[in-house]
Amino acid sequence: MKGSSGELRNLFAGALEDHVRSVALARFDASGSRLASRLRGLYGHCREFDGWLGDLLQGIAGCVNLRPDELRDLDEQRPADWFMSSDMLAYSAYVDRFASGLKGVVEKIPYLCELGVGYLHLLPFHRARAGESDGGFAVSDYEETDPTLGTTGDLELLTAHLRSAGISLCADFVLNHTADDHRWAVAARSGDRLRREFYHVLEDRAEVERYEESLGEVFPQTAPGNFTRVGELDAWVWTTFYPYQWDLNWSNPDVFAAMALTLLRNANRGIEVFRLDSVPFLWKRIGTRCVNQPEVHEILRALRTIVALAAPSVLLKAEAIVAADELPAYFGTAADDGRECHLAYHNVLMAASWAALALQRGDIVAEVVRKAPAVPNPGAWLNYVRCHDDIGWGVLAAGATSRMSVDLDRVSRFFCGDEPGSYARGRAFQTEPAHRVHGTCGMTSALAGLESATVAGDRQQLELAIRRLLLLYGVALCIPGIPLIYMGDEVALGNSTLTDPSPEQTRDSRWLHRPRMDWQWAAARHDPVSPQGRVFAGLQRMITVRRETPALAPSSPIDVVPAARPELLAMRRGGTMVCVFNFSEGAIEGGPELDVGGWKDVLTGRIVGKPWSIGPLEMRWLVPR
């Protein structure tokens, strides 16, 4: 019968080469029929569905055939939870800011090894749109590297070098939109009907307005609205982000097939982790915010199954900057193999940590940790302090900290240096009075007060700034999952000081925290009295302790320990170890509810007193003796 599972299996088998057939067919037998039924659910109503599915399976088989031996070995050898190890540490950087192109990154591998990095996220390096490109997030060709960064050969060489150093490369897969100069968009503009259907092209202004009624805005200042009028199409194109980023129409099965096969071809170049950019926006439904729609999750489940079929050592990471109650769904469920992403940014924890710092209230983080559900195993949060985007405050507005009142307006002003007593040197992101608490930009060190303390020559403030930076990273390193360092934070690199900013860099304040790595500044990382040396050594110490402490393993359990003082955050890991963080600038005497007097602090090797106390902005990682 056409489209029956037997026929699909035969089609798939027929397209496989002998050297891969038995392994690939075993995988197909485990998940092929589930994949078919998921895709039938999404696209079964479309014309020629059976033929489309057959073509897709043959395309997948083609990618299986071409998978290089070395990567096929990884597929066979890696256990499903290979990334859940205590020495997994992530690092994120722009290629051109970290090094001189993809080849230059090879030269920086020893530096990454010195930190203990096992996972390197390089921000978009595929061919980007000419001119403005949202930092490379407007991709014009997913199969080619950007010529300013290197060739596809350089990429393959880099992935090989990284692999032999034990580092997995993570790349952005910008699947919500293409650049307006991608060949599909160009074809659509020149009248190609099929390519026009790759995008959301609306001819009726009234329909645009109906959608807009319930949509939010990601860039309310620099790109208001969600649609862009395109003269050549005589219509409006859906552009959630910048007008030159055209949202793909994932309700079109040809978009799904094209993107799924693109992902596999990139996996065959040695990319081991895909950061699924802006994934909540993939499906549109009138009358909704057009985020987190059920079909988004169905698409993710289908992509996960395809990866399991053709490149099972590869990981998917959700870039889902959504509210706490919407975020866990991106991991999917273990039941009926409903898995989605292996990894997801713990963005709510990140924003909560910054709010806690501004308000000197560890209880804000405690509340988020208490509410975060367990992640299906294998699966992990990516715990970070900063990334290339703003700190979005909106995720805290919707319930994450509902039991307590968090003045986000104040927090947002604080990090722009606009509150009395603020030490921070950040800038608002896309904020106008109506969007007071949209986001904040700035490097960790500048937000933590290093810049203001240095300018003022205030040694005491400098000490506190270093402690703040380490405190936030301490939280990220203590929470179950994989910790991520944003380039430069390991040496307390400051905000970008562009002498000749482009119009894009002037308009979009996220460029404030996208500086070039200052390798001269970083060279002082072994000087124990310099700020960069203090930060580097502090981080290295925590990374080492985490690696050597089973209680801090990515999947070891966590629970919040009630602390009498709201300034404190206390978490128990692995049933025994207790990590205490003091978010206040004053010393605190420990109360009897946290009975850790006489325990050993594994960060310093010292025994804490009885009764115990904790200094301003200090942390203790304690084990009973």
Shortest Å, Cβ 97 to ligand GLC: 14
Smallest gap from Cβ 304 to ligand GLC, in A, equals 20
Q: Cα–Cα distance between 99 and 517 in angstroms, integer?
A: 8
- Binding-residue pattern over the window 141 to 180 for ligand GLC, x denoting contact by CB under 6 A: ---------------------------------x------
Position 277 contacts ligand GLC (CB under 6 A): yes
**Residue showing the smallest CB distance to ligand GLC in the complex:** 137
Give the binding range for ligand GLC (CB under 6 A) out of 10-18, 134-142, 259-267, 375-383: 134-142
Report the residue number, 272 or 319, with the smaller CB distance to ligand GLC: 319
Q: Per-residue x/- mask for ligand GLC, residues 336 to 375, rule CB under 6 A?
A: ----------------------------------------
- Taking CB under 6 A as the criterion, the residue among 86, 140, 178, 278 binding ligand GLC is 278
Residues assigned a catalytic role: 277, 319
Exposure string for 550-585, b = 16+ CB within 10 A, e = fewer = ebbbbbbebebbebebbbbbbbbbbeebbbbbbbbe
331 touches ligand GLC (CB under 6 A): no
Residue 360: how many CB atoms within 10 A of its CB? 16
% helix / strand / coil in the chain, to the nearest 5?
45, 15, 40
DSSP letter for 378, please: S
Query: Closest approach of Cβ 240 to ligand GLC, in Å?
Result: 8
Q: Does residue 451 interact with ligand GLC by CB under 6 A?
A: no
Taking the C-alpha atoms of residue 337 and residue 335, their distance in angstroms, rounded to an integer, is: 5
Task: Give Cβ neighbours of residue 16 (< 8 Å, ≥ 6 apart).
Answer: 24, 25, 61, 64, 65
Question: Can you tell me which of 134, 272, 367, 567 binds ligand GLC, judged by CB under 6 A?
Answer: 134
Residues 552-591 close enough to bind ligand GLC by CB under 6 A: none
Position 137 contacts ligand GLC (CB under 6 A): yes
> Concatenated DSSP letters for 437-506?
TSEEE--HHHHHTHHHHHHHT-HHHHHHHHHHHHHHHHHHHHSSSEEEEETTGGGT------SS--HHHH
Identify the CA nearest to 584 among candidates 348, 354, 358: 358
**Interface residues for ligand GLC in 383-422 (CB under 6 A)?**
388-389
> CB–CB of 241/276 below 8 Å?
no
Does position 241 bind ligand GLC by CB under 6 A? yes
Stretch that binds ligand GLC, among 93-101, 129-137, 339-347, 497-505 (CB under 6 A): 129-137
Nearest distance from residue 538's CB to ligand GLC, in Å?
28
Note whether 423 and 453 are within 8 A (CB).
yes
**Residue 274 is a binding residue for ligand GLC (CB under 6 A):** no
In the complex, minimum distance from the CB of residue 124 to ligand GLC, in angstroms, rounded to a whole number: 8
Q: Cα dist. 100→107, 108, 114, 164 in Å?
A: 9, 10, 20, 21
Residue 370 structure tokens: 């208490």
Task: Please state, in angstroms and as integers, the Cα–Cα distance from residue 104 to each residue in 108, 367, 468, 522, 573, following that order.
Answer: 7, 43, 32, 16, 39
Query: Cβ 171 to ligand GLC, closest distance in Å?
Result: 13
Helix (H, G, I), strand (E, B) or coil at 613: strand
Comparing CB distances to ligand GLC, the nearer of 146 and 277 is: 277
Residue 74 or 122: which CB sits closer to ligand GLC?
122
Number of residues that bind ligand GLC (CB under 6 A): 10
* Binding region for ligand GLC (CB under 6 A): 134-135, 137, 174, 241, 277-278, 319, 388-389
